[in-house]
A and B are shown apart, each in its own frame.
Chain A
Amino acid sequence: MSLLSPVTRATLLKDIRLEWRSKDALNSMLFFSLLVVVIFSFSFDPNAEESRQIAPGLIWVAFLFSTVVALNQTWARELRNHALDAYRVSPASPNSLFLAKTLGNFLFVTVLEALMAPLFVVFYNLRSIGPVWQLLLIGVLGTFALVVNGTFFAALSLRTRMREIMLPVILFPVSIPAIQAMVEATHIVLTGEGTARFWIVLLLTYDVVFTTASLALFGLILNAE
């Protein structure tokens, strides 16, 4: 936490406290992910090998949709009572807000993943053949890819009339390279076929590029009318 600026730290703690009290984002994400796990497990009954083939796509799509729910919630609370205007008139940097929101969303989605991972393992009879530490790395890089883009595009769609619809419309196409990298890398680790190195490097590059671009442009987005 000491690496963060005081404003980023204060905003992150504020978001965590607000989420702890309202549970808006976590409850909706959890409910949505549970529905995906249960519905798909009843829809077909794959054996362990088939599960390894389809689970990576299923897991990441479930997390992507859940992330959209979280992103809408975290910005929606800034629009209630126009609290965002109080930030905009202050001397605090726009990037401090962006970093705090990104880290907050990363934390909420990581909590969701930690809660849902055991359920995916049980319902889909999953077992990793490749190195498990790579799964953790893919999880961290993949989650960050979803939230860094998502936080930026959720802010972009903040003042549009149908922002709940606008966010996935903008976010999903831009996330395709990251989603493909996450799914392919997870698939390789679960099946033990080949090496996930290329996809992990792609994810890392994606994270660096989109974090840099978002930080460069967020000031414009925040002050746009």
Chain B
Amino acid sequence: MTGSSNPAAIAVRGLVKQFGRFAALRGVDAEFSVGKFYVVLGDNGAGKTTLLRSLAGLAQPNRGEISILGQTPRQAASLIGYMAHPSLLYDEFSGLENLRYFAQLYGIASDEPCARAIRSVGLDPALARPVGQYSQGMRQRMSLARAILHDPGILFLDEPFSNVDVQSTRGMATLLRGMCDSGKTIFLVTHQATVLEGIADEFVWMRSGLIVARTATLTPPQENA
């Protein structure tokens, strides 16, 4: 399945991932173009999160190949931003302290990119409160700030809008569209796809470990057929 004629940001060939006897991914083949906004949809257990974790290099596929801008996920680590359902943050640290630490993993020694990332998600870098005392929505936004702080070319986002209020969700969606317009590829898994109608470039439908359809609008594949 090929998206468009643009060079592939992500290419997946025959991707199989099994957990014991359960196959979470059953031979996924797909290409995703640079600078596009993809939204991955599907029921629980369809393989969305497993696909995302495999692309980010967190899950090792049993078979198949993954290419991120022509490299393996591990080689492309500095080009990838990853946001998961859990926050991936330390509860005892403030937002800026968290980002300051993670920035150093990418060789960033200055506070400015951290503060900029925090401001871009609508939070205050000067907030001294530990992340453990944040609301769930604030934690999600700080988690997005962590994912984008090193200015990655490809963003993998798993349920970024869960427990985020409507206004903040719209703000995050607009921010992501802006990033996409500046050339970044966004690959987002969500159950709240209506927010992204008119913002995303393509909706990728998954069922039982396979990509079953790719649509330009939020129309389920069976209705589309």
Contact = CB atoms under 8 A, between A and B. Distances in A.
A92 interface: yes
B77 A89 contact: yes
Contact of B105 (A21, A82, A91, A223): A91
A86 B146 contact: yes
Interface size class of B (residues with CB under 8 A): 20 to 34
A197 interface: no
The dominant DSSP class at the A interface is: helix
B23 interface: no
A87 B105 contact: yes
B86 A10 contact: no
B interface: dominant SS:
loop
Interface string B55-82: 0111110000000000000000110101
B60 A81 contact: no
B90 A223 contact: no
Contact of A14 (B87, B91, B101, B107): B101
A89 B72 CA distance: 12
Given A91-B77, A92-B105, A225 B60 contact: yes
A192 B89 CA distance: 52
A82 B46 CA distance: 22
A31 to B, nearest CB: 20
A81 B131 CA distance: 11
Interface of B: 56-60, 77-78, 80, 82, 84, 86-93, 97, 101-102, 104-107, 109, 146
26 contacts: A6-B104, A6-B107, A10-B101, A17-B92, A17-B97, A18-B90, A18-B92, A80-B90, A80-B91, A81-B90, A81-B91, A82-B84, A82-B87, A82-B88, A85-B82, A86-B82, A86-B88, A88-B58, A89-B57, A89-B77, A89-B80, A90-B78, A90-B106, A91-B77, A92-B106, A223-B60
